[in-house]
Structure 1
Amino acid sequence: MSSEVLLDVQNAGIQFGGLKAVSGFNMKINKGELVGLIGPNGAGKTTSFNLLTGVYVPTEGNIFFDGKKINGLPPFKVTRLGMSRTFQNIRLFDELSVLDNVKVAYHSLANDSVMSSVFRLPSYFKNELEMENKAMEFLKIFELDKYKDETAKNLPYGKQRRLEIARALAANPHLLLLDEPAAGMNPFETKELMDLIAFIRKQFGLTILLIEHDMNLVMGICERIYVLDHGVLLAEGSPEEIRNNPKVVEAYLGEEIV
């Protein structure tokens, strides 16, 4: 694993009116790491993801990605720099096919000219074929190729999650942000997800930041964990350190973190 810092969050925060949703948030993630971000409901986890990906502009602090300050960049520019994400509530293009959902990610990075697309020049068809072939490669990796013509909304829940991750990876990220990928999954699907995350990390050489409530998943795959509570960083450390941190246990209403 590289010790080179990929993501450096320095005292970042955001305020909505008089409410500080996240304040003084610090995080460093090295290239190749798999890091968890946990906390009770309302702790500010998804808000932090929105800060990192350009959905929100921080009202304090700075965010650096691969050495570049990204404060205020719109989401599509953050994506082009190499940061991609999934969402807590699955956001697929429900009426599009499985294949087209993945091709959308390639279109966002395409360099086709308007003229090529409007007049259907040879370069347009060449690029379309390349994108389709690449999308099919991803679907095979995620064992979704046999569903390529299926409408996305008709996939079982677990496969919709796989498709969303496949689409995020098609954007060729260096850092993949997963927002509660195990939400709504049964234990068998969660175990499959853990194996999938480990596989794609190795296969694509990814750095991964993961929000998750399933502590078995977090403790089972993350190397380091950050804990948020009421928008403030409560703790950071290895899974063992987090599991035995009294402040973290208290934040989870006194329940033992297994």
Structure 2
Amino acid sequence: MMENKLLLKVENAGIQFGGLKAVSNTNVEIKKGELIGLIGPNGAGKTTFFNLLTGVYAPTEGNILLEGKRLNGLPPYKITRKGISRTFQNIRLFNELSVLDNVKVAYHTNSKHSILSSIFRLPPHFTGEREMEEKAIDFLKIFNLDGFLYEKAKNLPYGQQRRLEIARALATQPKLLLLDEPAAGMNPNETEELMNLISFIREKFDLTVLLIEHDMQLVMGVCERIYVLDHGQLIAEGSPSEIRNNPKVIEAYLGEEVS
């Protein structure tokens, strides 16, 4: 397990669209190696918060720091290079590309050969492409997707598309992986497999993970700490047992105890 150093610090961050505060005065700290949950009712601001962390939106208040360096205002591709990668609530693959090419695209984020070598088809281009392909194939073996290398991504079953999206996110070599409702649309068996996969990749790749999820069994089963958003504001933070019994959380979920 990694050192208990602070990786992500969100200080009073928020975003306002016109007169509407979608996320407000949010404070989050995540240490290296943690697996953290982010939950809340529909419309609570969870995906908006992910969009702030990844540069889709620039915060209108507060700061976002990764390893002490401010990310405010950086475009998404620069934030990816600094070490934050994500999946999406609705799967976003390159549907017409092969499984292999979906992962190779992600490896290009950290490509070491220059654009000129690619334009002029110089030796470094071919060497770099060969190395990326070998890495991508090895990577897909870990996710049991190596039997579908040349299959179009759109032809994979739903659960395997989810695996491919996670594999592609990991291929950017992130320090922090953001998973946005990875169990959405999965049956109980697929959800259980996903729980095991998340725990496995965290250990295998020495990762820090922040997870949005509506499936409380998954969240309570894998997360060490949980943050709760409601109407764009954090209302609770604690261990799964503390969150399960928190009156504010129970009230936010329409009076039903989080189980």
Quickly name the TM-score band, shorter chain normalised.
over 0.9
CA distance in structure 2 between the aligned counterparts of 1:242 and 1:6, rounded to whole angstroms:
23
- Across the two proteins, how many residue pairs are aligned to each other? 258
Partner of 1:38: 39
The alpha carbon displacement at 1:134 in A equals 0.4
Identity in percent: 74
TM-score normalised to structure 2 length: 0.98
CA distance in structure 2 between the aligned counterparts of 1:218 and 1:114, rounded to whole angstroms:
42
Amino acid in the other structure paired with 2:56: V
2:112·2:128 contact (CA, 8 Å) conserved in 1? Answer: no
CA distance in structure 2 between the aligned counterparts of 1:134 and 1:66, rounded to whole angstroms:
27
Alignment of 1:37-116 (within 5 A): 37-116=38-117
Partner of 1:149: 150
CA deviation digits over 1:116-160, x for unaligned, max 9? Answer: 111211111000000000000110000000000000000000000
Partner of 1:245: 246
Amino acid in the other structure paired with 1:88: Q
CA distance in structure 2 between the aligned counterparts of 1:41 and 1:73, rounded to whole angstroms:
28
CA distance in structure 1 between the aligned counterparts of 2:37 and 2:114, rounded to whole angstroms:
40
The alpha carbon displacement at 1:182 in A equals 0.2
The alpha carbon displacement at 1:114 in A equals 2.4
The alpha carbon displacement at 1:111 in A equals 3.0
Partner of 2:13: 12
The alpha carbon displacement at 1:109 in A equals 1.8
Q: Which structure 2 residue ranges, 5 or more long, are not aligned?
A: none
CA distance in structure 2 between the aligned counterparts of 1:231 and 1:248, rounded to whole angstroms:
14
CA distance in structure 1 between the aligned counterparts of 2:216 and 2:121, rounded to whole angstroms:
51
Partner of 1:201: 202
Where 1:95 maps in the other structure, the secondary structure is coil
CA distance in structure 2 between the aligned counterparts of 1:3 and 1:106, rounded to whole angstroms:
28
TM-score normalised to structure 1 length: 0.99
Amino acid in the other structure paired with 1:148: L
The alpha carbon displacement at 1:115 in A equals 2.1
Alignment of 1:162-177 (within 5 A): 162-177=163-178
The alpha carbon displacement at 1:251 in A equals 0.4
CA distance in structure 2 between the aligned counterparts of 1:119 and 1:63, rounded to whole angstroms:
40
